[in-house]
Amino acid sequence: MDTPAAPPPDLFLADDGYPAPAGVARRPAGSTESVRANRRWWDAAAPAYLAEHGSDLGDVDFLWCPEGLREAEAHLLGEVAGRRVLEVGCGSAPCSRWLRREGADVVAFDLSGGMLARAAELNRATGIDVPLLQADVGALPLASGSVDVACSAFGGLPFVADVEAALAEVARVLRPGGRFVASVNHPMRWPLPDSPDPEDLRVVSSYFDRTPYVETDEDGRAVYVEHHRTVGDWVRAVVGAGLVLDDLLEPEWTPGRTQQWGQWSPARGALVPGTLIVVCGKPA
């Protein structure tokens, strides 16, 4: 599987290295627009994102969420040695390299060529060669029933417009009896300010408003799109894809962990959840 070279950023970058939007809106955004916008954004943002968070993510590690839950302790995927595992939205692929080190046969994919270019560099640096694939979760280039386990650690599902179709694709490639675990932004973060300070905890929008958050360029074109779903929406999407929901986890902040990720912080994490993890399986 060939890994695309990192494309040159075609978005204006702020001093922190992240794309600087010309405007922000709450408006509808479909699958085509969301895919195009988020591929561009992550291609441009990959260096800044990994410079900021790469040390916490590690090169060969499986971090489920900013709260610090790691697969080495959580064992949400079960035994992975000898199993074929698909990582959805792998980014720089530290989770996939960890899985490969644990004996899994791994395939990692991401929408962003920029992220995959860094993943390829880290494959070479670590000596752990994980196959990398550029793909959209809405149309996986894998055979039906070809995967034992699928996972997604904050791997792009909040950016997907049609998450029902995406989960149906994951269910399609899973073998009967297969397992899927995904961590996403907790729906409760949507109506609250994007701040790590507990003093800022106040409801500023409706939890039930599913209108996407869209950042735009000077011409009004979307350059970043994030989609909100309630807890109930996630449950219905999982069940609608033909999967069985085994558990819903809301990880608490790991004691002694001081790392801050955007609005995720120890002080805020002590009060409200920041991550939702769905644990599900495909009926045998």
φ and ψ of 162, to 5 deg:
-110, 80
Q: Residues 6 or more apart from 197 whose CB is under 8 A from it?
A: 265, 267, 268
C-alpha 65: how far from its chain's center?
9
Q: Is the pLDDT of residue 8 over 90?
A: no
Give the alpha-carbon dihedral of 71, 74, 78, 83, to 10 degrees. 0
Domain 23-281 = CATH 3.40.50.1370: no
Residue keyed to tokens 């300070």:
197
Q: Which residue has the higher pLDDT, 55 or 5?
A: 55
pLDDT of residue 161: 97
Q: How far, in Å, CA of 140 to CA of 86, rounded?
A: 11
Structure tokens at 158: 């909040």
Distances (CA, A) of 41 to 90, 112, 126, 201: 16, 9, 27, 28
- The residue-averaged pLDDT of 167-190 equals 97
Identify the bridge partners of residue 225 per DSSP, sorted by sequence position: 214
Res. 7 pLDDT band, cuts 50 70 90:
low
pLDDT of residue 155: 85
Domain residue spans in the chain? 23-281
Residue type, 165: A
**Cβ neighbours, 10 Å, residue 257:** 14
pLDDT of residue 159: 96
Q: Is the pLDDT of residue 201 over 80?
A: yes
Report pLDDT digits (tens) over 245-276: 999 999 999 999 999 999 999 999 999 999 99
pLDDT of residue 10: 77
Q: Is the pLDDT of residue 4 over 90?
A: no
Q: Is 223 helix (H, G, I), strand (E, B) or coil?
A: strand
Q: How far, in Å, CA of 131 to CA of 116, rounded?
A: 10
pLDDT of residue 9: 64
pLDDT > 70: percent of the chain: 97
Report pLDDT digits (tens) over 22-47: 999 999 999 999 999 999 999 999 99
Contact 98, 128 (CB under 8 A): no
Q: What's this model's pTM, rounded to 2 decimal places? A: 0.95
